[in-house]
Every structure is written in C-alpha cells, then in structure tokens.
Amino acid sequence: MGHSVPNPASCRVAGRTGFALEGTLREALLHDNGRHDRHLPALIRPDALPSGR
C-alpha cells in the first residue's frame, strides 16, 4: 500500500480520509519516467475515532 510522493491527488486523498504519514520509502516505485519515493500512510482505530469522545 502507499502512493507516489509526486502524486498530489493521492497525497490529498490519504490525508482527507484520516491516514497519517508513517514514512517514506526512497525510490521504491519504478514508473516510466524513473524511480519515485513512496509515502506509507497508516490508519489505526484510535486515529479514526471522532473527536470529542
């Protein structure tokens, strides 16, 4: 799981759906235009609880 760092749409989707950035894998993805870093988002149950609980 994860997404290419230079893909701003994927970065926004991960953030808006409650995923936190856990880390970055350097040059982990190979695309037609070369290697890209990969963000590793994570979501655990306490992150998903509504605020004010």
Instruction: Convert the pLDDT of each residue in 5-51 to its tens digit.
Output: 998 899 899 889 888 899 999 999 998 999 999 999 998 877 666 66
Amino acid 43: pLDDT: 86
Cα gap 33→4, rounded to integer Å: 12
Helix or strand or coil: residue 14? Answer: helix
Amino acid 50: pLDDT: 63
Nearest residue to 47 via CA among 28, 24, 22: 22
Amino acid 32: pLDDT: 92
Decide: pTM greater than 0.85: no
Cα gap 14→11, rounded to integer Å: 5
Domain chopping of the chain, boundaries: 3-48
Beta strands in 1-53 (DSSP E): 3-4, 20-31, 34-42
Backbone angles phi, psi at 15, to 5 degrees: -65, -40
